[in-house]
């Protein structure tokens, strides 16, 4: 485990994410694209054009994604359950990370519904749930959701209504009620978010720019080597990575 930054005096929400190592090409490009580095929150990123898309335009199209930082959600943001402590959560994450092996994952920028993200890119012969890489992702995400659930405070009625306002299937509603989030377990789709929700015209233009910007890392797989603990100090604050737990099985 590495402590990246001091834990804030108060924490509104915790989240367990995958975030590429700070010295990786994906972390660097992702931070530059979003205009913020959640692993190094004091870092100043000068405005720059990427893929032909200017920084000001990206800022408008990535406002929410920038606040959360470059990440793939494993355990969605949660308030700590009454009686829970950071020390217990920290110990649980140590134990959880020790159960899983590190592995490589090819990714490509692609659409996911109405936003853009780095998504798994397995060739046609192996693009199915039984592929070892897909199974490792599912096992890691499911373990995070289940093992860390005792630390999660139940969502408020307002939060549940906000989730439902997007329109949920009966399966997603069941997941929301059981785990506090509708896109976990069998509904989990691994992705590192690179934009907010976009309309059809925006999607086409931003996707083309993103493809160009990501060309330098197109042949480099992600190294899924750690769990990252992010915190939101107060409601609406930027998420910051405070701990990283290496997968050591």
Q: Reading across the β-sheet that carries 115-120, which strands appear in turn?
A: 107-112, 115-120, 192-193
Q: Alpha-carbon torsion 144, 147, 151, 157, what sign?
A: positive
H-helix or E-strand spanning residue 5: none
Range of the structural domain that residue 128 is part of: 2-246
The enclosing domain of 178 has a CATH number of 3.90.1140.10
* 144 in Cβ contact with 218 (< 8 Å): no
pLDDT at 125: 47
Q: Count the Cβ atoms, other than its own, within 10 Å of residue 243.
A: 23
Q: Measuring CA to CA, which residue among 144, 124, 125 is closest to residue 72?
A: 144
- For residue 208 the two structure tokens come to 């083309």
Is the pTM higher than 0.75? The answer reads yes
Q: Is 178 helix (H, G, I), strand (E, B) or coil?
A: helix
* Residue 127 pLDDT: 47
Count of other CB atoms within 10 angstroms of residue 103: 16
Least confidently predicted of 58-62, 124-128, 163-167, 178-182: 124-128
Q: List 120's β-bridge partners, or say none.
A: 107
Domain count for the chain? 1
Q: Residue 105 and residue 86: Cα distance in Å, rounded?
A: 30
DSSP letter, residue 64:
H
Is the confidence at residue 193, as pLDDT, over 70?
Answer: yes
The whole-number average pLDDT for the span 44-49 is: 94
CA max distance for the chain: 50
Q: Tell me what the pLDDT averaged over the chain comes to.
A: 93
The beta strands (E) that lie in the chain are given as 2-3, 13-18, 72-78, 103-105, 107-112, 115-120, 192-193, 222-224, 226-232, 239-246
CB 226 within 8 A of CB 97: yes
List pLDDT tens digits, range 79-96.
Answer: 999 999 999 999 999 999
pLDDT in tens, 1-31: 666 778 888 999 999 999 999 999 999 999 9
* Cα three-residue angle 204-187-181, rounded to 5 degrees: 100
Q: Is the dihedral of CA 59, 63, 67, 73 positive or negative?
A: negative
Average pLDDT, stretch 185-211?
Answer: 95
pLDDT digits (tens, 9 = 90+) for 47-73: 999 999 999 999 999 999 999 999 999
Q: What is the pLDDT of residues 92-146, one digit of tens each?
A: 999 999 999 999 999 999 999 999 999 998 765 444 555 677 889 999 999 999 9
């Amino acid at each position: 485990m590495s402590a990246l930054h001091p834990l804030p005096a108060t924490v509104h929400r915790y989240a367990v994410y995958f975030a590429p190592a700070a010295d990786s090409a994906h972390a660097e490009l992702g931070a530059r694209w979003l205009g913020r580095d959640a692993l190094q929150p004091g870092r100043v990123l000068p405005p720059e054009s990427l893929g032909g898309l200017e920084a000001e335009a990206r800022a408008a199209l990535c406002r929410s994604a920038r606040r959360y930082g470059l990440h793939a959600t494993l355990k969605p943001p949660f308030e700590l359950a009454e009686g829970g402590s950071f020390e217990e959560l920290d110990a649980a994450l140590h134990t959880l990370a020790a159960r899983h092996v590190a592995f490589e994952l090819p990714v490509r920028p692609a659409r996911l519904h109405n936003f853009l993200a780095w998504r798994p890119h397995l060739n046609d012969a192996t693009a199915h749930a039984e592929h070892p890489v897909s199974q490792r992702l599912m096992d890691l995400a499911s373990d995070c959701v289940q093992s860390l659930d005792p630390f999660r405070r139940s969502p408020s009625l307002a939060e549940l209504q906000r989730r439902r306002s997007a329109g949920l299937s009966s399966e997603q509603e069941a997941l929301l009620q059981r785990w506090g989030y509708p896109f976990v377990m069998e509904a989990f789709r691994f992705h590192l978010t690179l934009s907010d929700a976009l309309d059809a015209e925006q999607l086409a233009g931003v996707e083309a720019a993103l493809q160009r910007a990501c060309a330098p890392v197109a042949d480099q797989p992600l190294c899924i080597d750690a769990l990252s603990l992010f915190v939101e100090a107060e409601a609406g604050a930027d998420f910051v990575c405070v701990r990283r737990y290496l997968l050591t099985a």
